[in-house]
Amino acid sequence: MSSDVLIASNRGPVSFSLSDDGTLTMRRGGGGLVSGLSEALKGSDLLWVCAALSDGDRGAVRLAPGGRLDQAGHDAGRLRMLDIPPATFHRAYNAVANSTLWFVNHLLYNTPTAPRFDARFRREWASYQEYNGAFALALAEEAAHGAKVMIQDYHLTLAPAMLRAVRPDVRISHFSHTPWAPPEYFSLLPDDVAAEVLSGILGADHAGFLTYRWADAFMDCCAAILGARVDRAARTVTHRGRTTRVGVHGLGVDGDALRARASEPDVEARITALKQQVGDRRLIVRVDRTELSKNIVRGLMAYREFLAEHPEWHGKVVHLAFAYPSRHDLPEYREYTAAVQRCAKEIEDTYATEEWDPLILSVYDDYPRSLAAYRLADVLLVNPIRDGMNLVAKEGPILSSRCALVLSREAGAAAELGADALLVNPFDISGTAAALHEALVMPEDERAERCARLRIAAAALPPRQWLAEQIAALS
């Protein structure tokens, strides 16, 4: 049966692990995009197309007719998983999507040494084209006449144009969950690659972004690099005779669902354990993937400077820094995790005493403990170099009634939460240290008032609404 509404993303709603005896175990997929969408899709008959990411996933796909996991009896919603050859997948996902497009859009390169676009990159780019082609083909096979197809993120920038070439009848949208780079930085990409990414997205009828800032940057790139005609007032880009509408659709948190999850017994148990660990000290909390763009090292340096500047807080404050593992196939991420651990050790060596541990760093994933930390936080530190939105900045205020938010002005969330957060320049360590102090000494009535407004803003755009807007944009 073909589908009227389809969604495509690299990571799907479930993943599988393969035990030694060959048994497959299914679990829910992770990450902002997937958790938001999975919640919003409950009960819908939309078809989700994703890639197999691991050997476990590949094992499950091979046992499913046409990769349809739901038809193989898995409770995963309507889901087709693509078994893209591992080497092709690895080059497309790690080398191009995560090491190139992610780096460009988050401005992460250390330009004296990187990027280097050489013959090896060309092989990786060919794999990215092949990977996008596999998605376009699967979507073309599954889509009913006139179907709506919603393609997600930087992994799949070429798929919209590829799908349009074979299925001109379907309505296509592309959505970027990341920031978008300004033209002078986007132009680090080889000219043909930059043009292919932009015109790939312009294969869609609708190109969506999380904030006006990222949408404007995309339009600037289309004008500067493709010479496309951009109508800023109407938010349209016309290129090679086709017009794509550019939309802004913020994404927030389902407040009720999050509050319900955060009141479950496993979270209560973590609250008790954390309270025992830190006593009645004030808490500065951060929760991130160990991701270069999250700026964890500068966050720790800011805490160190705060301790140096404010000895009156010694023994009275603890920084809980939860930095969960991410993308460990990439050497930059392994090195970054080590840099985070080194910086944490320096802080401990300088300031820890028999009675006081100034910093608790954990690099292990424990979701209920993160929810417990949000509930206990006096200050939430969210200081990314650049971020599409950042849902941590929204989850914290939803679970706390008195937490002060120190937020990077480079996070998409700053557009919605900036008025009630303490905004910082993520590169300004002294400025961030000063903001941590200001957040700690903020009077109780002010923190409660700000937190109440943050909570309303954070829950204003739940994933269900985001999804409904994506579908409506193709009507």
Contact region for ligand F6P (CB under 6 A) — 25-33, 167-175, 220-228, 445-453?
25-33
For residue 390, the minimal CB distance to ligand F6P (Å) is 9
Sole binder of ligand F6P in the list 3, 7, 8, 11 (CB under 6 A): 11
Of the pair 283, 393, the CB lying nearest ligand F6P is at: 393
Task: Name the burial class of residue 293, with classes exposed (0-12), middle (13-18) and buried (19+) by CB atoms within 10 angstroms of its CB.
Answer: buried
* Bridge partners, 16 (sequence order): 26
Is residue 294 involved in binding ligand F6P (CB under 6 A)? no
CA neighbor of 340 nearest in space, from 326, 358, 321, 355: 321
**Relative orientation angle of helices 191-201 and 212-221, to the nearest 10 degrees:** 120
Structure tokens at 127: 């794999």
For residue 89, the minimal CB distance to ligand F6P (Å) is 12
Give the count of residues interacting with ligand F6P (CB under 6 A): 9
Is residue 107 involved in binding ligand F6P (CB under 6 A)? no
Question: What mask, x for binding ligand F6P by CB under 6 A, covers residues 426 to 465?
Answer: ----------------------------------------
Is residue 106 involved in binding ligand F6P (CB under 6 A)? no
Contact region for ligand F6P (CB under 6 A) — 30-38, 113-121, 203-211, 357-365?
30-38
Nearest 10 degrees: Cα torsion 158, 159, 161, 163: 160
Residues 6+ apart with CB under 8 A from 429: 298, 301, 302, 305
Of the pair 286, 447, the CB lying nearest ligand F6P is at: 286
* Segment 154 to 213, residues that bind ligand F6P, using CB under 6 A: 177-178
Of the pair 70, 365, the CB lying nearest ligand F6P is at: 365
Is residue 33 involved in binding ligand F6P (CB under 6 A)? yes
What is the DSSP code (8-state) at residue 46? Answer: P
Sole binder of ligand F6P in the list 17, 32, 213, 363 (CB under 6 A): 32
* Bridge partners, 231 (sequence order): 236
For residue 327, the minimal CB distance to ligand F6P (Å) is 6
Q: What does 84-134 look like in DSSP terms, one character per residue?
A: --HHHHHIIIIIIIIIIIHHHHTT---TTT-----HHHHHHHHHHHHHHHH
Of the pair 288, 305, the CB lying nearest ligand F6P is at: 288
CA neighbor of 392 nearest in space, from 141, 303, 401, 408: 408
Sole binder of ligand F6P in the list 124, 142, 153, 254 (CB under 6 A): 153
Q: Pairing state of beta strands 171-175 and 404-408?
A: unpaired
For residue 167, the minimal CB distance to ligand F6P (Å) is 25
Of the pair 411, 451, the CB lying nearest ligand F6P is at: 411
For residue 35, the minimal CB distance to ligand F6P (Å) is 8
Is residue 410 involved in binding ligand F6P (CB under 6 A)? no
Cα→Cα distances 155→10, 94, 167, 301, Å: 6, 10, 20, 33
Q: Give the containing element (helix H, strand E) for 15.
A: strand 14-18
Contact set with ligand F6P (CB under 6 A): 11, 31-33, 153, 177-178, 327, 388
